[in-house]
Chains A and B, each alone.
Chain A
Amino acid sequence: MTPTEARLPQRNNLYGHPAGVATRLFAFFVDLFTILLLFTVGGHVVSFVLSIVLGSDVHLSDSSLASSLALLLWAFTYCAYLLSAYSCTLGMAAFGIRVVRLDGEMLDTRHAVVRVLAFPLSFLVFCVGFVFIVLRRDRRALHDVIARTAVIYSWEARSANLAFLAKRAPNRDRH
């Protein structure tokens, strides 16, 4: 046992293991909901404020192109900021997963931005980029491969539900 490993608490769970496709999908849906909810609420607030300032009714949704661009910009900001600052989005935090660099370090702004920009590529050709998660042993999607990142479980299973998973972990003594 190396000094580094000696300092680590003994873990009998999936902490630090690559996250699976279902957890990542659930986290994605939470993020999608959050982005749309905040965008809708924010849009109404901005419309209301502009209506008061300009003295006439302003509906941002009237311009679909501007709305779409604003939504894309907002989604990019939401993901890139949270990933670079906390290595996870709200959905990821809810489901106990994080994005890390291949060397195990937290994401920096560059990695976060590259990952967010590469994310839409995973949707191309019948979402083949996401199939990577299932097919690859390290469970990295296309955008993870491009950004040189990985998604891991970042919580300790306190529930007895995970006992069967902990038993299956092959090298759990390392954690």
Chain B
Amino acid sequence: MVESATEIVQAVAYEVTPMVVGALDVNGVVERVDIQAIVERIDVERVIDRIDLQLVLERVDLNALLEEIDLNKLMERLDLDQLLARIDVDAIIERTDLGTIISRSGSAVMIQVVDGIRSQGIGVDSVLHGWVDRLLRRGGSENDGAPAQLSPSAERFE
């Protein structure tokens, strides 16, 4: 008996529901709903906390996504002039210690140049003294005649 009653109710529902829905002004209902109040009641942080981002990211095929992006089209849409106009270059320069960077790179270049010149000098020394050593039939002259104390004491000049 219960089953037959259920069937009757379902049959009635099937018949009545489309008529009720058709009669309803959905737009009017939506307009009357205070969506802002609903959104405010939602605890977004809690929702986000529940989402397992790692799992989401694992499911996303980034390569496929990137392949679908037409970068040329994207770049065409970008108004770079407007973007650059928004950037406060002076503020960026103030924040980056540009003076120090320039002076450091300048010092590095100077050290390289000075080292290069000194190396050339030592190279010529080596060749000249090598010739003389061979001429005088004596072994390598590097440090041979240097007083033993010179090298350790020279440490103080650094």
The reply to whether chain A is a binding partner of chain B is: yes
**Do the beta carbons of A134 and B132 come within 8 Å of each other?**
yes
Residues A150 and B146 in contact in the complex (CB < 8 Å), given A95-B118, A96-B118, A159-B116: yes
Report whether B122 and A14 are in contact in the complex, using a CB–CB cutoff of 8 Å.
yes
Nearest Cβ on chain A to B152's Cβ, whole angstroms: 6
Q: B128 to chain A: which residues have CB within 8 Å? A: 20-22, 134
For the complex, count residues of A whose C-beta is within 8 A of B: 49
In contact, A168 and B142 (Cβ under 8 angstroms)? yes
Question: Which residues in window 119-174 of A have CB below 8 A to B?
Answer: 134-140, 150, 152-155, 157-159, 161-162, 165, 168-171, 174
**Any chain A CB within 8 A of the CB of B104?**
no
Complex partner residue of B150 from A95, A137, A150, A168, CB under 8 angstroms: A150
Is A106 among interface residues, defined by CB-CB distance under 8 A?
yes
User: Is A100 an interface residue, CB under 8 A from the partner?
Assistant: yes
How far does the Cβ of A120 sit from chain B's closest Cβ, in whole Å? Answer: 24
Give B47-74 as 1s and 0s: 1 = Cβ < 8 Å from A's Cβ atoms.
Answer: 0000000000000000000000000000
Q: Within 8 Å CB of B126, what residues of A?
A: 20, 165, 168
Q: Could you give, for residues 5-38 of chain A, a 1 whenever the CB lies within 8 Å of some chain B CB and a 0 otherwise?
A: 1001000001111111111001000000000000
CB of B123 closer than 8 Å to a CB of A: yes
Name the residue in A15, A21, A22, A154 with the highest tally of chain B Cβ atoms < 10 Å from its Cβ.
A22
Chain B residues bordering chain A, tally (CB within 8 A): 37
- The answer, yes or no, to whether B147 is at the interface (CB within 8 Å) is yes
Query: Which of B128, B145, B154 has the largest number of chain A CB atoms within 10 A?
Result: B154
A154 in contact with B153 (CB, 8 Å): no
Residues of A within 8 A of B142 (CB): 14, 17, 165, 168-170
Determine the chain B residues whose CB is within 8 A of the CB of A4 once the complex forms: 152
Q: Determine if B117 is an interface residue (Cβ-Cβ < 8 Å).
A: yes
Residue of A nearest to B114 (CB): A94
Are B115 and A152 closer than 8 Å at their CB atoms? no
* Interface residues of A, dominant DSSP: loop
Contact indicator per residue, chain A 65-93, by CB within 8 Å of chain B (1) or not (0): 00000000000000000000001000000
**Could you tell me which residues of chain B, from 65 to 119, have a CB within 8 Å of some CB in chain A?**
111-112, 114-119
Within 8 A of A (CB), among B125-158: 125-126, 128-129, 132, 136, 138, 140-147, 149-157
Say yes or no: is A104 at the interface (Cβ < 8 Å to chain B): yes
> Does B18 reach chain A (CB closer than 8 Å)?
no
Query: A171 — which chain B residues lie within 8 A by C-beta?
Result: 143
Residue of B nearest to A156 (CB): B158
Q: Residues of A with Cβ closer than 8 Å to B?
A: 4-5, 8, 14-23, 26, 87, 94-96, 98, 100, 102-106, 134-140, 150, 152-155, 157-159, 161-162, 165, 168-171, 174-175
| Partner-A contacts on B (CB < 8 A) | 111-112, 114-126, 128-129, 132, 136, 138, 140-147, 149-157
Q: A17-B142, A18-B145 are in contact. List 8 more A-B contacts (CB 8 A).
A: A17-B151, A22-B128, A100-B153, A157-B119, A161-B119, A161-B123, A165-B142, A170-B142
Q: List 13 A-B contacts (CB under 8 A).
A: A17-B151, A18-B145, A20-B125, A87-B157, A95-B118, A96-B118, A102-B147, A134-B128, A159-B112, A165-B142, A168-B140, A170-B144, A171-B143
